Structure 1
Amino acid sequence: MNDTGASKTAQHTGLGNKDRLRLWIRLLRASRTIENELRLRLKSAFDMTLPRFDVMAALNREPEGLLMSDLSRFLLVSNGNVTVIVDRLVTDGLVVRSSREGDRRTSIVRLTDSGLTLFRQIATEHEKWVGELLGGIGDEDARHLAVMLKSFRSNWET
């Protein structure tokens, strides 16, 4: 093993692992706390669930729509979970589901005009809420943490 490999291994043993465990617990606790508060605010202000908001946010990124399978893969949830959420959004007139040309078995989902309007309204408030909830973190620290976490993600994702 070369010196670089040996030093990387040494960095991930002993007391450093305890620090990483503490970091993971703090990240998890912070994430859950923020997520719970956002759930409450979405429900109170818009009668919206976080999963429905997440589906609408994913569809907002893809104006031409997404295949149901791509939507579930993007959101890291099962096809069944996405189907239930999309069914409710269709019933509420916020998204439309259409068959893929040449293949009736696959559905493409996209926001309706009213869905897009509502999503933009909710997203504006959501951004303010997140800013408020993370207001104790300075701009430079927020950028630095975001870069660190993005780097971490790319290290283990394939």
Structure 2
Amino acid sequence: MSDLSKRRLKLWIRLLGVTRSAENRLREFLRVTHATTLPRFDVMAALYRRREGVTMSELSRMLLVSNGNATAVVDRLEAEGLVRRTPSAADRRTVFVALTEPGLAAFETLAADHEREVDAILSALSEEDLDRMTEILKRMGKQ
């Protein structure tokens, strides 16, 4: 292995460590501050982006999780009145899921606090750091 290859491997390990650390901090923040989980936040965020509602299959694809995982989270959100399921008029096997009005309001509060926490997590980065890292990560994503 070349020196450059070893450096790339070290960078990969550092990226994973930073990502895991930030994700763990967000998980703890959501648990302690809002008595919720990151998967619930992710489901609500996906539904917030698609206010008209999505099928359960679309939701699973959007979140890159199994239908079973998405269903379990949606079941709990529905029991709390934060989402609603609506059968499709065209196909009885298809069910649309969307945030309710209370769900929209709850998510907006969560999202604002989530943004503040991400801002705090990344607060050591300058605007120049953010610009450079964003450009680098975009370049990596095109491979």
TM-score range, shorter chain: over 0.9
1:48 equivalent among 36, 45, 54? 36
Alpha-carbon distance, 1:45 to partner: 1.1
* Distance across 1 between alignment mates of 2:96 and 2:118: 30
* Distance across 2 between alignment mates of 1:153 and 1:105: 37
Residue type of the partner of 1:43? Answer: R
* Distance across 1 between alignment mates of 2:9 and 2:104: 40
Q: How does 1:102-113 map to 2 (within 5 A)?
A: 102-113=90-101
2:21 equivalent among 28, 33, 37? 33
SS in 1 for 2:119: helix
**Measured at CA, do residues 83 and 153 of structure 1 come closer, stay the same or move farther in structure 2, by a change above 3 Å?**
same
Residue type of the partner of 2:118? Answer: V
**Over aligned residue pairs, what C-alpha RMSD do you find?**
1.3
The equivalent of 1:152 in structure 2 is 140
1:58 equivalent among 27, 31, 46? 46
Give the TM-score normalised by the residue count of structure 2.
0.94
Is the aligned partner of 1:81 residue 2:87? no
The equivalent of 2:110 in structure 1 is 122
Structure whose alpha-carbon radius of gyration is higher: 1
Alpha-carbon distance, 1:71 to partner: 1.1
Judge which range, 97-106 or 46-55, deviates more. 97-106
Residue type of the partner of 1:64? Answer: E
Give the TM-score normalised by the residue count of structure 1.
0.85
SS in 1 for 2:93: strand
SS in 2 for 1:30: helix
Runs of 4+ residues deviating >6 angstroms: none
Unaligned runs of 5+ in 1: 1-12
Judge which range, 53-62 or 94-103, deviates more. 94-103
Q: How many residues align?
A: 143
Unaligned runs of 5+ in 2: none
- For each residue in 1:113-157, what CA deviation from the matched residue of structure 2 results, as whole angstroms up to 9, or x when unmatched? 0001010001101100000011001122113212322332232xx
Alpha-carbon distance, 1:86 to partner: 0.5
- For each residue in 1:42-92, what CA deviation from the matched residue of structure 2 results, as whole angstroms up to 9, or x when unmatched? 011111100000000111111111111111111111111000001111001
Instruction: Report % sequence identity.
Output: 48
